[in-house]
Chains A and B, each alone.
Chain A
Amino acid sequence: DSGVTQTPKHLITATGQRVTLRCSPRSGDLSVYWYQQSLDQGLQFLIQYYNGEERAKGNILERFSAQQFPDLHSELNLSSLELGDSALYFCASSPRDTSSYEQYFGPGTRLTVT
């Protein structure tokens, strides 16, 4: 158990809908990262927050947005969902805003868009 929690574990929704994925980092970790893993692709970095501020953006679609709240939990919002958004979404946390520290991954949220 990494200490990172993600909810929900599974989500099934229809095209055009909007969903929110939630992540609580390990106690004391200030950085939260979001990743997407589709069927035929590796882990793709989406976005990083550090202590409430956006720090880095990867290949995140404009339909997706995220935020980190004062209690350090983070939410990833996915809107106007398409079939291709079906994937496993991981969040990870680390103590600092630097890749000198390992990242601790949550169990993931499996999103299925029908």
Chain B
Amino acid sequence: ILNVEQSPQSLHVQEGDSTNFTCSFPSSNFYALHWYRWETAKSPEALFVMTLNGDEKKKGRISATLNTKEGYSYLYIKGSQPEDSATYLCAFKDTGRRALTFGSGTRLQVQP
């Protein structure tokens, strides 16, 4: 069984705060790491796909970093807005499997 863990499970921040959360995965046989944003009553939406150690990706106020040697990825949100409220999922694939394994997500609530 592959362990993909996300922390914290949930987070409440004020509008304007910057925040970050973690995705931990096995450090061997890395292939790809995905981040998705999942708003309530909608479907998951892709944020980033990261494939190389040291990868840094950015989309507006959201950025992500990847450390495959130690098995973690950070997602950062700068200046959180209420519309950033969602569950953020990471998903990991190693070279031995053909499918992504999803973490259980970090639920972010941004108070106006």
Instruction: Give me the interface of A with B, judged by CB distance under 8 Å.
Output: 2, 33, 42-45, 48, 55-56, 58, 90, 92, 99-108
- Give me the 4 closest cross-chain CB pairs, A-B, nearest first: A56-B98, A102-B46, A105-B43, A99-B93
Is B44 part of the binding interface, using a Cβ–Cβ cutoff of 8 Å?
yes
With A and B bound together, what is the CA distance between A104 and B104 in angstroms? Answer: 18
Interface magnitude class on chain B: 20 to 34
Cβ contact within 8 Å between B43 and A107: yes
Grouping DSSP codes into helix (H, G, I), strand (E, B) and loop, the B interface class, with mixed when no group exceeds half, is: strand
- From B46, B89, B97, B102, contact of A104 by CB (8 A): B46
Cβ of A104: which chain B residues have Cβ within 8 Å of it?
Answer: 46
- From A90, A99, A108, contact of B100 by CB (8 A): A99
Residue among A42, A44, A104, A106 with the most chain B CB within 10 A?
A42
Nearest CB on B from A25, distance (A): 14
- From A42, A48, A92, A105, contact of B103 by CB (8 A): A42
